[in-house]
Amino acid sequence: MQNHKITVIGLGYVGLPLAVEFAKKYPTVGFDINKERVSELNQGKDLTLEVQDQDLIKVLLNNQERDARHMGLYPTTNVGDIADSNVYIITVPTPTDKNKRPVLTPLIKASETVAKVLKTGDIVIYESTVYPGVTEDECVPVLERTSGLKFNEDFTVGYSPERINPGDKERTVTKILKVTSGSTPEAANQIDDLYKSVITAGTHLAPTIKVAEAAKVIENSQRDINIAFVNELAKIFNLLDINTSDVLEAAGTKWNFLPFKPGLVGGHCIGVDPYYLAQKAQEVGYHPEIILAGRRMNDSMGAHVANEVVKLMVKRDLKVNKSKILVLGVTFKENCPDVRNTKVVDVISELEDFGADVTVHDPWANPDEVKHEYGYECHPALDAGSHNGIEQLKFDAIVLTVAHTEFKALDLEKLKHEKTVVYDVKGVLGTLADAKL
């Protein structure tokens, strides 16, 4: 294990924290095609906020130190810098296209990059979330074809899914038990030992790569389906005029009732991964019913929230067309700057379809990214010092969509008039809200 030289390919939410942990023990190269990202990292800045700047700076190596040190992280965009590694860990995105089909292009491209420098004895480990079979049936042929080397004779592969939860400062990468697997018993043990050397929570060595791939994709699919169920309950109880969270609290007193809450399911994991499993199921002739029903239910929640807000406004004789609505939060989850696949945009666009004039406030989101991705202005602060001083406005409705800590201390009264509707998607405002999901 001592001779490992590691390269992590893809320095995003998953790749960077992992590379930093490996860098504490091994010489580690971080490779990414995004020049801006690599340049920020080399300046000791992680804009995903997953790694504290001082922790990044502690492990960073410059070009001279790289040859002299036995550990540390060297972020680069240069393929030449990864040539002398012997373990390659791939943590690139696995998104879906507009038809909700898996896009494997980043994985294939990353495999090509590795294959260009692959040598006899090297190990390639995939961490990206995929459907069962992607590592061996899609990626290995690319590694073989481009490198000219033979799978399981010249090189081996493994799959070890990442389970981090962005924004969660308690359960960080080393504190989450890691599933590992390898293409031969020897590779499996080597990979398991490698992860054991940095993951303090330990590892679970799965019997095959496909088992490890399937385990990850069902973890997120299970969560999606459970949330879909409580989202359906929220819709039913809403029609019955029963408070959903009161029902969940009462039912939750039974030992085996699962504590899920209704909400918007966005991001690039839970809202995306079930489509990977569904695609594979369809390829082998099975049409998944529950998995896709869960997806449809969760994707409908943005419009549902907007419709509920509008109904409450109408009941208060508020004119919806040209009304002023404040949406609190645009990231896909609380205390995290990630806006990818956020379902808050479904709430906003539905409210705009009703003619409402929507103002978005989020202290975590990068306004440029929100503008670029979705075309909305996002105000990072409410006070007059920034933008045009939202705090001086009175809104007809306020919709809290993301439970950022900052929102719990917000003085909503100054943003309200006597009829303002306050809708609380996350159930954090207590009695300040007129309704919650």
Ligand X SMILES: NC(=O)c1ccc[n+]([C@@H]2O[C@H](COP(=O)([O-])OP(=O)(O)OC[C@H]3O[C@@H](n4cnc5c(N)ncnc54)[C@H](O)[C@@H]3O)[C@@H](O)[C@H]2O)c1
Site for ligand X in 31-50 (CB under 6 A): 31-34, 37
Burial of 162 (0-12, 13-18, 19+ CB in 10 A): buried
Please indicate whether residue 378 is annotated as part of the active site: no
| Residue 234 neighbours by CB distance under 10 Å | 23
Return the residue matching tokens 């004895």: 121
Contact between 10 and ligand X per CB under 6 A: yes
**113 contacts 9 by C-beta, under 8 angstroms:** yes
Which residue among 7, 85, 94, 147 contacts ligand X (CB under 6 A)? Answer: 94
What is the rounded distance in angstroms from the CA atom of residue 71 to the CA atom of residue 19?
11
In sequence order, the 6+-apart residues with CB closer than 8 A to the CB of 87 are 4, 5, 6, 7, 122, 123, 124, 125, 194
Tell me the window of 156-164, 170-178, 229-237, 381-389 that interacts with ligand X (CB under 6 A): 156-164
What is the rounded distance in angstroms from the CA atom of residue 184 to the CA atom of residue 167?
35
Contact between 269 and ligand X per CB under 6 A: yes
Which residue among 73, 92, 118, 347 contacts ligand X (CB under 6 A)? Answer: 92
Best CA proximity match to 132, nearest among 31, 218, 61 = 218
Closer by beta carbon to ligand X, 270 or else 410: 270
Contact between 271 and ligand X per CB under 6 A: no
Min dist CB 128 to ligand X, Å, is 3
Structure tokens at 259: 């504590």
Contact between 166 and ligand X per CB under 6 A: yes
Min dist CB 6 to ligand X, Å, is 15
Min dist CB 237 to ligand X, Å, is 30
* Residues that contact ligand X, how many (by CB under 6 A): 28
Min dist CB 66 to ligand X, Å, is 19
Of the CA atoms within 13 Å of residue 411, those in its CB half-sphere come to 8
Which residue among 149, 164, 318, 412 contacts ligand X (CB under 6 A)? Answer: 164
What is the rounded distance in angstroms from the CA atom of residue 71 to the CA atom of residue 81?
15
The catalytic position among 139, 269, 336, 378 is 269
Min dist CB 380 to ligand X, Å, is 21
H/E segment holding residue 335: none
Contact between 128 and ligand X per CB under 6 A: yes
Closer by beta carbon to ligand X, 274 or else 363: 274
Contact between 30 and ligand X per CB under 6 A: no
Closer by beta carbon to ligand X, 94 or else 331: 94
Collapsing DSSP states into helix, strand and coil, what is residue 219? helix
Which residue among 4, 6, 7, 13 contacts ligand X (CB under 6 A)? Answer: 13
Contact between 11 and ligand X per CB under 6 A: yes
Sign of the CA dihedral with 53 first, then 55, 56, and 61 last: positive
Residue ranges in 10-104 assigned as alpha helix (H): 15-23, 35-42, 53-59, 63-68
Contact between 19 and ligand X per CB under 6 A: no
Give residues in contact with ligand X (CB under 6 A): 9-15, 31-34, 37, 91-94, 106, 109-110, 113, 128-129, 162-164, 166, 268-269
Query: Mind telling me the catalytic residues?
Result: 269
